[in-house]
Amino acid sequence: MAHNEPKQFAAVFVLRIVVGSDPRIVTRFETYLIDADTPDDAYQQANELGPRLDYKYRNSDGEIVTIKSLGIHELDVVEPNGDDCPGLISSVQFVTPDGAEPSANVRDRDQLACFNQFGKRPDLPNLDQ
Per-domain boundaries in the chain = 1-76
**Residue 23 DSSP one-character state:** -
pLDDT tens-digit map of 59-74: 999 999 999 999 999 9
Which of 58, 60, 76, 67 is CA-nearest to residue 9?
76
Its pTM surpasses 0.75: yes
Task: Specify the higher pLDDT residue, 35 or 2.
Answer: 35
pLDDT tens-digit map of 15-60: 999 999 899 999 899 999 999 999 999 999 999 999 999 999 999 9
